[in-house]
Amino acid sequence: MKTTVFPKYLTDFLTRYLPAERGVSSNTVLSYKDTFMLLITFMKSEKGITAERIEIKDITKNNILAFLDWLHSERGCSDSTRNARLTALHSFFKYLQYEDPMYLHACGQVLSIPLKKTASPTVTYLALDTIKAILDGPDLSQKRGRRDLALLSIMYDTGARVQEIIDLTPAMVRLDSPCTVRLRGKGNKSRIVPLMDAQVGFLRDYMAENDLLEPRAAQHPLFSNSRREKLTRAGISHILSKYVLLAQQRVKDMVKGAVTPHVIRHSKAMHLLQAGVNLVYIRDILGHVSVKTTEIYARADSRKKREALEGAYSEVKPENIPSWLKNNNLMGWLKEFGK
């Protein structure tokens, strides 16, 4: 049976180029893999071309545009998801044009497809009192409660992404002064984030209780389930939701709407900004590539905007009040005018 080169290039793209040459995270590789699984499904259902028969020449600009429309109409994907799928395809065709210049024209056609403009995301964040109410939830008389407090505290104090929390190991935590944690973010890029004294106390007690200070445990998950397995995204979301619900029951109307781990990250960023921390430092703590990404918090903070306006405001009034304002009798003023 005739074979095509598309599987060869796709395999090399996912297994070598992305992780080795580009250094992208395993999550990004999996996301790109999902894009191609969807594309293969589309090619079979809409174009009658099975996975074994797909060739590079079949993945034309028109077919990619039809695929993107199919994501909207058949799968109900948002513009943001559509853009994420297109970004994966762009990455593959950038790889392909250097790997085999024979496909240079075809690659250029696909790379010319623009991303759709999307509305700027709304930053949802919690007030500091709300964060305190959530952290008051864990029952410290229970081992699981002590784990949950350490988890939620480090999640808020570092502003970490949920995957960064999942990937933490004891080796990435420094409990000697200055106390820090090393987070491994997008693109496997690491950053050092300082820990607050109160957080260090919770964390040290938790690690000692679970034998995580021992050298043999250096590469174990810092936060694990009852089977000593690394927590999942769903597991961390479940833990957070549990204490959000408790906070809602204790203080009515304090917590509104869904609270996800990313909302906790947004909250930390906003609280740093409101405390007067420079955007450059907030960028480094959050692990943003550019300060432009961090600027969304400055744009979202209405309190800071108001303070800036109040600081720039000075009362302006005319030194000389017009004479017609001194005279309540307009007709009398008019009669006297010019005399």
The three-point CA angle 213-217-219 to 5° equals 120
Which residues does 286 contact at the CB level (< 8 Å), separation at least 6? 159, 265, 269, 294
Query: Do 106 and 60 meet the contact criterion of CB atoms below 8 Å apart?
Result: yes
The CATH architecture annotation of domain 128-259 reads Orthogonal Bundle (1.10)
Write down the pLDDT at residue 317: 47
Write down the pLDDT at residue 202: 86
Write down the pLDDT at residue 1: 43
Name residue 220's amino acid: H
User: Rounded CA gap, 134 and 12, in Å?
Assistant: 46
> For the chain, what are the domain ranges?
6-111, 128-259
Write down the pLDDT at residue 273: 83
Name which of 231, 137, 164, 150 is nearest 196 in CA terms. Answer: 150
Predicted TM-score (pTM) of this structure: 0.67
Phi and psi at residue 224, to the nearest 5°: -135, 170
Write down the pLDDT at residue 302: 52
Give me the active site residues, please. 161, 186, 262, 265, 288, 297
Write down the pLDDT at residue 120: 63
Write down the pLDDT at residue 86: 96
User: Rounded CA gap, 331 and 110, in Å?
Assistant: 76
Query: What kind of fold does domain 6-111 have according to CATH?
Result: DNA polymerase; domain 1 (1.10.150)
Query: Do 195 and 211 meet the contact criterion of CB atoms below 8 Å apart?
Result: no
One fold for both 6-111 and 128-259?
no
Q: What is the pLDDT along the chain (339 residues), one digit of tens a residue?
A: 445 799 999 999 999 999 988 888 888 899 999 999 999 999 999 999 998 899 999 999 999 999 999 999 999 998 989 999 999 999 999 999 999 989 999 999 999 999 988 766 667 888 888 899 999 999 999 999 999 999 999 999 999 999 999 999 999 999 988 889 999 887 778 888 888 887 888 899 999 999 999 999 999 999 999 888 999 999 999 999 999 999 888 877 666 678 899 999 888 888 888 888 888 888 888 887 766 666 666 666 555 545 544 444 444 445 555 554 555 566 565 666 665
